[in-house]
Structure 1
Amino acid sequence: MSTVAAILKHKGYNVLTVSPDARISDVSAILSDNRIGAVLVLDEAEQMLGIVSERDIVRCLAANGTRTIDMTAGQLMTRAVQIAHPDTTVVEAMRMMTAGRFRHLPVVDHDTLVGLISIGDVVKARIMQQEATVESLTAYVAGSA
């Protein structure tokens, strides 16, 4: 069964992060410029404090209007961040994301941040698994005919 490690091997390990004092206007620019949906918020010791997603920004805009732009990542971030490990299966990651209704999942290995996967990454991996299964079954059936 495919794991989060396989997704990261294909996708890469680069994770964009911001400090808790980064302004939301800057965070928004990072998200837009890099065509990503979330950044992790790390302290000076590289410890994960939270995550800021597009959804967090939109919710804050709805509640606070233009004041949101002057807020900081530390003020706006989601603090209760679920994590995956490299050996977490794709199915487990999908279940976590679906149950928690979030789209981004940090990957931690022995207390070290090693990556960040999105629901799109998980769906892509799942589709690839299903295609491989179909091909295998098709080859089996064709070979036995």
Structure 2
Amino acid sequence: MTTVAAILKHKGYSVFTISPTALISEVAAILNEHRIGAVLVIDHANQLLGVVSERDIVRSLAANGARTLEMTAGQLMTRALHLAHPDTTVAEAMQMMTAGRFRHLPVVDHEALIGLVSIGDVVKARIMQQEATVESLTAYVTGSS
């Protein structure tokens, strides 16, 4: 079974992080510049505090208007995070994300942040698993190797 570690090995371990004092206007610029959907919020001791996603920004814009851009990441971030570990399977990650209705899953190993997977990463890995299974079964049924 494919794990989150395999996804990170393929996509890389790079994670964009910001401090809780970063302005949402800065967060939006980072999201746009790097074409990503979320950044993780960490403190000066590299402790994971939360995540700010495009969704968080849009919801705040709807509620608070342009004032949102002057808010800080600490004010807007989602604090209740679900975490994955390197040995979390793709199916488990997909189930967590679907049930919790979130799109970004931080990956920690021994309490250290090692990566971030998105729902797109998880779906891509799941599709690759399914394609490999179909190819294997087709080869078995047709007698080719």
1: CA distance, partners of 2:78 / 2:122: 21
**Which amino acid in structure 2 is aligned with residue 49 of structure 1?**
L
Could you say which residue in structure 2 is the equivalent of 1:99? 99
2: CA distance, partners of 1:89 / 1:3: 4
2: CA distance, partners of 1:142 / 1:112: 47
Could you say which residue in structure 1 is the equivalent of 2:139? 139
**Which amino acid in structure 2 is aligned with residue 86 of structure 1?**
P
Could you say which residue in structure 2 is the equivalent of 1:33? 33
**Which amino acid in structure 2 is aligned with residue 131 of structure 1?**
E
- 1:11 is displaced (CA, Å) by 0.5
SS in 1 for 2:93: helix
Could you say which residue in structure 2 is the equivalent of 1:47? 47
1: CA distance, partners of 2:97 / 2:58: 19
Structure 2 runs not aligned, ≥5 long: none
Structure 1 runs not aligned, ≥5 long: none
% identical aligned pairs: 79
2: CA distance, partners of 1:81 / 1:28: 20
Could you say which residue in structure 2 is the equivalent of 1:129? 129
Could you say which residue in structure 2 is the equivalent of 1:6? 6
Deviations 1:41-99 (A, max 9, x none): 00000000000000000000000000000000000000001100000000000000000
2: CA distance, partners of 1:81 / 1:36: 18
2: CA distance, partners of 1:126 / 1:60: 32
Regions of 4+ moved over 2 Å? none
**Which amino acid in structure 1 is aligned with residue 134 of structure 2?**
V
- 1:7 is displaced (CA, Å) by 0.3
TM-score of the two chains, using structure 2 as the length reference = 0.98
1: CA distance, partners of 2:35 / 2:81: 21
Aligned length: 144
Q: Alpha carbon RMSD of aligned pairs, Å?
A: 0.7
Could you say which residue in structure 2 is the equivalent of 1:74? 74
2: CA distance, partners of 1:32 / 1:83: 25
- 1:111 is displaced (CA, Å) by 0.3
2: CA distance, partners of 1:112 / 1:139: 42
**Which amino acid in structure 2 is aligned with residue 117 of structure 1?**
V
1: CA distance, partners of 2:76 / 2:19: 12
2: CA distance, partners of 1:142 / 1:5: 33
Could you say which residue in structure 1 is the equivalent of 2:83? 83
